[in-house]
Structure 1
Amino acid sequence: MSRDLSPLSQDRMREAALYLWDANLLANRIIELPLAYMLGEGVELRATDPQMQAAITRFWNDPINQMDVKLPKKVRELALFGEQCWPTFVNEMNGHVRLGYLDPALIATVVVDPDNAEQPIGVVTVKDRKGTARRYRVIVNGPEADLFTERTRQIRETFTDGECFFFTVNDLSVSRRGRSDLRAPADWVDAYDQFLFGEIERYNFLRAFVWDVTIAGADEAKVRQKAREIKSPRAGSVRVHNEQEVWKAESPDIKAGDTAEGARLFRNHVLGGSTIPEHWFGGGGDVNRSTGESMGEPTFKTFSLRQRYLKHVLEMMGRYVIRQKMKAEIDDEPAWDDARLAVEARFPEMTARDTTRYAAALAQVVTGVAIAIDKGLMTEATAVALVATIAGQLGVEIDPKKELEDARKAAADRRARQADEDAFPGVNDLGAA
Structure 2
Amino acid sequence: MKETLWQGLKRRLLADEVRRQVRAVLQAETDQTFTLGTHAAAAAVHERPFSERREALRQALEAWRVNPLARRIVELTTQYVVGGGITFTCEHPATSRFLHELWQHPLNQMSLRLPEWCDELTRSGNLFILISTDPGGMSYFRAVPAGQIDEIRTRPNDVDQPLEYLPAPALDGRESPAWQAYHPLEDCPQADGSFRPVMRHYAINRPVGCVWGESDLLPVLRWLSRYANWLEDRARLNRYRTAFLYIVRSRFTSEGERLARQQRLNAQPPAPGSILVADENESWEVIQPHLEADDANTDGLAIKKMIAAGTGLPLHFLAEPESSTRTTAEAAGGPTYRRFEQRQAFFVQVVGDLLGIAVQRRALAQGNRPGGGRVNPHARIRVHGGDLSARDNVALGLAGNHILAVVTQLRDRGLIDDPELLRVAYRFIGETAQVEELLQRGRAAPPSGVAPRGAGGFPPGKVDLLSGEAKQEVLT
TM-score range, shorter chain: 0.7 to 0.9
> Do the aligned partners of residues 104 and 381 (structure 1) sit closer, same or farther apart at CA in structure 2, a change above 3 Å counting?
closer
Structure 1 residue 269: Cα displacement: 0.5
Q: Is 1:171–2:209 an aligned residue pair? A: no
CA contact (8 A) 1:56 1:318 kept: yes
Structure 1 residue 357: Cα displacement: 5.0
Q: Is 1:53–2:100 an aligned residue pair? A: no
Q: Distance in 2 between the 1:180 and 1:381 partners?
A: 44
Structure 1 residue 342: Cα displacement: 2.5
TM-score (norm 2): 0.69
Instruction: Find 2:158's aligned residue among 90, 101, 116.
Output: 116
CA RMSD of aligned residues (A): 4.0
- 2:127 corresponding residue in structure 1: 84
Tell me the secondary structure at the aligned position of residue 345 of structure 1.
strand
CA contact (8 A) 2:125 2:213 kept: yes
Structure 1 residue 301: Cα displacement: 1.3
Structure 1 residue 375: Cα displacement: 7.2
Q: Distance in 1 between the 2:410 and 2:385 partners?
A: 37
Tell me the secondary structure at the aligned position of residue 5 of structure 1.
coil
Query: What letter corresponds to residue 342 of structure 1 in structure 2?
Result: R
Identify the structure with bigger relative contact order (alpha carbons < 8 Å, sequence gap 6+): 1
Q: What number of residue pairs does the alignment pair up?
A: 386
Instruction: Find 2:62's aligned residue among 6, 12, 19.
Output: 19
- 2:341 corresponding residue in structure 1: 304
Percent of residue pairs bearing the same amino acid type? 18
Q: Which has the higher mean CA deviation after the structures are superposed, 204-213 or 344-353?
A: 204-213
Q: Is 1:266–2:303 an aligned residue pair? A: yes
CA contact (8 A) 1:86 1:100 kept: yes
Instruction: Find 2:270's aligned residue among 226, 234, 239.
Output: 234
Q: Is 1:126–2:163 an aligned residue pair? A: no
Structure 1 residue 209: Cα displacement: 3.0
Q: Which has the higher mean CA deviation after the structures are superposed, 369-378 or 116-125?
A: 369-378
- 1:103 corresponding residue in structure 2: 145
Q: Distance in 1 between the 2:379 and 2:238 partners?
A: 63
Q: Distance in 2 between the 1:363 and 1:8 partners?
A: 56
- 1:154 corresponding residue in structure 2: none
- 2:352 corresponding residue in structure 1: 315
Instruction: Find 2:74's aligned residue among 28, 31, 40.
Output: 31
Instruction: Find 1:402's aligned residue among 412, 423, 439.
Output: 439
CA contact (8 A) 2:363 2:377 kept: no
Q: Distance in 1 between the 2:388 and 2:397 partners?
A: 20
Q: Is 1:348–2:389 an aligned residue pair? A: no
Q: Distance in 2 between the 1:396 and 1:144 partners?
A: 33
> Do the aligned partners of residues 48 and 164 (structure 1) sit closer, same or farther apart at CA in structure 2, a change above 3 Å counting?
farther
Query: What letter corresponds to residue 142 of structure 2 in structure 1?
Result: G
Superposed CA offset, 1:17-67 (max 9, x none): 111111101111111101011111221133343331122112211211111
Q: Is 1:8–2:48 an aligned residue pair? A: no
Structure 1 residue 3: Cα displacement: 2.3
Q: Distance in 1 between the 2:206 and 2:115 partners?
A: 21
Q: Which has the higher mean CA deviation after the structures are superposed, 169-178 or 265-274?
A: 169-178
Query: What letter corresponds to residue 189 of structure 1 in structure 2?
Result: L
Structure 1 residue 279: Cα displacement: 0.7
> Do the aligned partners of residues 382 and 325 (structure 1) sit closer, same or farther apart at CA in structure 2, a change above 3 Å counting?
closer
Tell me the secondary structure at the aligned position of residue 218 of structure 2.
coil
Q: Which has the higher mean CA deviation after the structures are superposed, 245-254 or 113-122?
A: 245-254
> Do the aligned partners of residues 359 and 62 (structure 1) sit closer, same or farther apart at CA in structure 2, a change above 3 Å counting?
closer
> Do the aligned partners of residues 356 and 178 (structure 1) sit closer, same or farther apart at CA in structure 2, a change above 3 Å counting?
closer
Q: Distance in 1 between the 2:199 and 2:383 partners?
A: 20
Matches within 5 A, 1:316-395: 316-330=353-367, 340-353=378-391, 357-358=395-396, 361-362=399-400, 364-369=402-407, 382=420, 385-390=423-428, 392=429
Structure 2: give runs of 5+ residues left out of the alignment. Answer: 1-43, 189-194, 370-375, 453-476
> Do the aligned partners of residues 255 and 355 (structure 1) sit closer, same or farther apart at CA in structure 2, a change above 3 Å counting?
same
- 2:243 corresponding residue in structure 1: 208
> Do the aligned partners of residues 132 and 39 (structure 1) sit closer, same or farther apart at CA in structure 2, a change above 3 Å counting?
same
Q: Distance in 2 between the 1:371 and 1:402 partners?
A: 19
- 1:279 corresponding residue in structure 2: 316
Query: What letter corresponds to residue 382 of structure 2 in structure 1?
Result: E
Tell me the secondary structure at the aligned position of residue 71 of structure 1.
helix
Structure 1 residue 176: Cα displacement: 2.3
CA contact (8 A) 1:373 1:380 kept: yes
Query: What letter corresponds to residue 291 of structure 1 in structure 2?
Result: T
Q: Distance in 1 between the 2:394 and 2:169 partners?
A: 60
CA contact (8 A) 1:135 1:162 kept: no
CA contact (8 A) 2:132 2:140 kept: yes
Structure 1 residue 112: Cα displacement: 0.7
Structure 1 residue 313: Cα displacement: 0.9
Q: Distance in 1 between the 2:350 and 2:396 partners?
A: 32
Q: Distance in 2 between the 1:413 and 1:207 partners?
A: 75
CA contact (8 A) 2:70 2:224 kept: yes
TM-score (norm 1): 0.75
Q: Distance in 2 between the 1:97 and 1:113 partners?
A: 27
CA contact (8 A) 1:168 1:178 kept: yes
Superposed CA offset, 1:115-134 (max 9, x none): 31232221122344473431
Query: What letter corresponds to residue 138 of structure 2 in structure 1?
Result: H
